[in-house]
Amino acid sequence: MTISPHLVYELMFIVASALAALGILTTVVNLRRSWLDRRAATRLPALRTQLLAALDGDDSRFVSSMRREDATFTALVRSLLPTVRGAERERLSEILEGTGVVNAALRDLHSRSAVRRAHAGDLLGLASVNRAVPELMRLLRDRDVDVRRTAARALGFIGDAVAVPALLATVDDARSVPYNTTTMALLRMGSDAHEPLIEGLRAGSQKVRAVCAEILGLRGSVAALPALTAAIHPWESLEVRIRAARALGRIGVPGSVDALAALMRSEEPLPLRAVTTRALGQIGGRRTVTLLRDALDAPEHIVAVNAARALASSGDDGADILIRFGHELTSRRGAYAREGLSYLALQATHAARL
């Protein structure tokens, strides 16, 4: 089949025209964006001054004028929200409501654009808009991972405990929110989150129970002690037991020592014994020091070295044991005791530099 030169020229002309049109369109878009950026930069100083003045009192003229500058205003507020606290933050949230920015963001949560949904969720979270919680919980199942991540982070900033079960559900979801995002959101919430977290520890899946144990320990939840103590029993999975033991150490209540002592038996799994040794060191006390002293004779390196370092952090009683055993030049526990003394010296040096 032969293609006529005339047809080739026509095709080349069409392609060249399309490329030229595309180039012109790109130039126009870039010029418009550059003009908008310059315009926003010009107005930003005056707008910031007006906004800061409005934080000190009711200025209805400022609120009404902001309806005409949504993009610049929203960007300015987004940059200020993480830096203000207390009454100023409440006032800034009122201004957001008055300008209609909150309502616009709530509508954008249903946008077809994932970028708009994510930006809206981020703003609502930073502004702690409680009425956005149901929609943000829905977005935890969004098709876009950035939207899911932003929704989880926003729920953490808002801090409503009603969102805890929805956040925990993402742990088992095949299209889950990144683990670190979920845990940070749960850590940001107030004390009202303890009860649903304890319920998750008691009745959730294995992954959820492990996460709940970890979070409750990091939050120092004394109310969770009964559930955490139950979670270290042998019928639980090893991962849950390890995290529950670590949580008991972080909470640091002396009443947990007996429960943790049972995990130091030689028949218990090595990872659990290693973590329990460190947990006992965090609690402290004479009973703990005795248990750690015995752990210096453990045949496993990780248990013995953890015991030595825990003794180094146990005050004078722990230091006395390390000094006494450190003189045993030929025994195994003597070597670990000297390592504990070295660790103690490093801690002292670090404290002196501070």
Q: pLDDT tens string for the chain (354 positions)?
A: 566 776 667 777 777 777 777 777 777 666 656 554 555 555 556 566 666 666 666 555 555 555 544 677 777 777 777 777 777 777 777 778 777 888 889 999 999 999 999 999 999 998 889 999 999 999 999 999 999 999 999 999 999 999 999 999 999 886 678 889 999 999 999 889 999 999 999 998 999 999 999 999 999 999 999 999 999 999 999 999 999 999 999 999 999 999 999 999 989 999 999 999 999 999 988 899 999 999 999 999 999 999 999 998 888 888 899 999 988 888 898 999 998 899 888 877 777 776
SS3 category, 218 = helix
Domains of the chain, each with CATH number or no CATH:
76-189 (1.25.10.10)
**Count of alpha carbons within 13 angstroms of residue 144, beta-carbon side:** 16
The first and second tokens of residue 136, run together, are 């943000």
Cβ atoms of 242 and 272 within 8 Å: the answer is yes
Q: What is the DSSP string of 19-55?
A: HHHHHHHHHHHHHHHHHHHHHHHHHHHHHHHHHHHHT
Cβ atoms of 63 and 54 within 8 Å: the answer is yes
The first and second tokens of residue 273, run together, are 């014994």
SS3 category, 265 = coil
Helix (H) / strand (E) element for 290: namely helix 286-295
Cβ atoms of 120 and 105 within 8 Å: the answer is yes
